[in-house]
Structure 1
Amino acid sequence: MALGDKLSDLKSRLAFLLGALVVFRIGSHVPVPGVDYDSLRSVFAEGSSGILDYLNLFSGGALSRASVMALGIFPYITASIIMMLASYSIPWLEELRKEGEQGRRRINQYTRLFTVPLALFQSYGFAVGLEGLEVVETPGAAFRLTAMIGMLGGSMFLMWIGEQITERGIGNGISLLIFASIVSGLPVAVGQLFEQVRLGTYGPFTVIGTLLFVAGILAVVVFVERGQRRVLINYAKRQVGNRMVGGQASYLPLKVNMGGVMPAIFAYAIITFPTTILAFSSAGGSEWLRDLSAYLQRGTPLYFLMLAATIFFFAFFFVSLVYNARENADMLRKSGAFIPGIRPGEQTLSHLEKIVSRLTLIGAVYITVICLVPEVLFSQLSIAAIFGGTSVLIMVVVSIDFMEQIQHYLLTHQYGNLLKNAPGANKK
């Protein structure tokens, strides 16, 4: 395929991605029937800084509009997490995981099916909560059933869009949907921040300090995400015919934050699942539900403790999924490469595992600090969640990954074109 055809394919992929995001944004404005939206907007305006503020952020404002996409992609993410954990603990799922591509497809199919009850459960809590907030025009079983069917359809449609973006577009579809949700709320959040200055709620120095702090987070995230631990590798000399080949030195690059943004997304998905139900069910519910919901609200010590613990867990769990130290050690041994001072085989495996464990610990601490420190500060000032470290982390990491995907796509096809035009190449 000629380079022009490859560029045309890249343009079509980018066009598909753009079209999918436009459809997603249009869908986030499709309302659930029977809700008084003016009353709902006033409830969110009065009750910002809670966990619902974060849910609204990650759904692109769909939650505050009671859209059919109010649940966002989180039911699918939660189902994916549960299935991944199950594939390491349930024997028959573990056998499927080891079957390669076919097993992965079966597990993905089970994940889609498991998304349905999770979405129904969350949508029921959402419908009951809307009735408790007294923003439903005609409460009752008919409204709850309508809301559950509508939001289930919205979540499944988002799941399908995310998979289509991954397959036919560029980048990870789930991450790009969350990225689009956050970016869509950025202009409104900046406008609200300056409106608060005009009303006298915040002073100009508070706004300047907030923007400088966010810029500092941005710089730290970019610096760490581009950071690598380069492991020195030497290639043994060997004789091929009358020539000696090998003896060169190279590096095995290992990212400082090998888990990327997924540990933070997984942590919020796990935390928001029970807290969403509690936040809505406590409205007009029993006193113990309201007390439990208050303990788990954004800004409480229990919320921060749960968030830190889940980020640490998923940082180590996700790295164990994406990086196989034994596979890398075997690859080095088969190619005649070795780490200076380390014997090939089990010693190389142990050395790589030690390096990856230390990098994962650094990455887990880094993600936890980036996510929690801005939240602790901004929750005291009731500043919008979009200025928090989690939002900046997701936007930066997804942007970097997206650009790397495009560069890799172009380099791969340019390399293939060079091989095709090389002297002695078999041309047809």
Structure 2
Amino acid sequence: MLNKIRRFWSHFFNKSRKINNEPLNKVSLVVLIVIDIFILINVFTGLDDISRWYISPSQAYPCYSQWQNYKSQTTTGKDYEIIQSSLSGRYNELSQEQIYQQTQERHLGKVSPTCLQYAKYQDQINIPPNQQIIQNIEQKQSQIAQLEQSNSNIRSQYDSTLLEKIAGQSREQSINLVGAEKAKQELDQNNRQISIRKQEISSLKNQLLAKPESINFLSFLKDDSDFNQVKANYQQASFWYPSIQLVFQSLFLVPLILVALSVHNFAQRREYGLVSLISWHLLVIFFLPLIFKVFEFLQVGVLFTFIFDILNTLLGGLLFLISYVYILLIPVVGFGIIQLFQKVILNTKAQAVRRVQDSRCINCAKKIRPHDTYCPHCGYYQYVECPNCHNLTYKYLSHCHHCGTVQDDSHHHV
């Protein structure tokens, strides 16, 4: 196992920094690295764009979080607060319903009809008379805040004024702006104004809540039948969304990987050293994000949810044990990826078969004479001793070309 990994990395780095088995000079290496970084940035940008193509759960069910917050609140003023939120922060020309519809036009998928109806009720509330009520309420709340600040300043001076009076200090020698009697009068007057403003605010809130459009909106919001379905759909969409993202990201990367692999194999057969090197780098660059996204999916996708649910049921609160599962699982996945490279994508045996048929070096793929023991280009030894007939046969090929005996892999690296 360790020998396979060591050979894999050695093969990987040799292909990444050599043209026809000759090392790149420093300038060429820097240029190649700059190209790699530029392409990698664009690959991740493309992945990010395509992952947003399918509508997200929060975009498909934009009213869910607002309804959930409304349901979870226990305060008496929650009806006013949700109506106020429908009237605040709306400075564009589009209605809320148009904003939701515009979202689904730019993505695959649809916005929930319940949320579109929710937005329609919000638009019915968001009219100039109701906006004016909100402005009046905010003005009165601002006045209350000023009066309360004034009371706070008066009280801070009132204590020292009272001490001055007890000490018999004359008014002319006082450092405070108002006397004790005057302070008491101003406090009482401010408190009366605050009480009046609060009553006015309460009246304005009741006036807003009594509007027909507000009553219709609140009645719709309190009907749980539609919103319970929204909740179920939102949770299901959240469960599958990472998997859908991975599928779209794979659709973006797999064609690039196949093209880069085809160009690389073609360049090796034709001995186009620079094209082979660049296409190899492209192949690696396209594979890295795919591997990264697979591991990211393992952390948030369906598999993670499945393992989490099982361990949560079996272990209760000992959720930290999930980390142990992943510590064991990730190396297994990594081993699978290495095996994929070794046996499918960069299959040494498959390469050797093609190269022997074309009279090419098994290692560097350059043309050699049929009976050359060592490659004159890279010095690689082409043969291995057959354990049955002890004649020399080609490395990596499955059978000896003298006696036809099946070749054991362990003899290929002698």
Query: Does TM-score exceed 0.5, indicating one fold?
Result: no
Structure with higher Rg: it is: 2
Highest RCO, 1 vs 2 (Cα 8 Å, sep ≥ 6): 1
Q: Report the TM range for the smaller structure's normalisation.
A: under 0.3
Superposition TM-score, scaled by structure 2 size: 0.28
The alignment's TM-score, normalised by the length of structure 1, stands at: 0.27
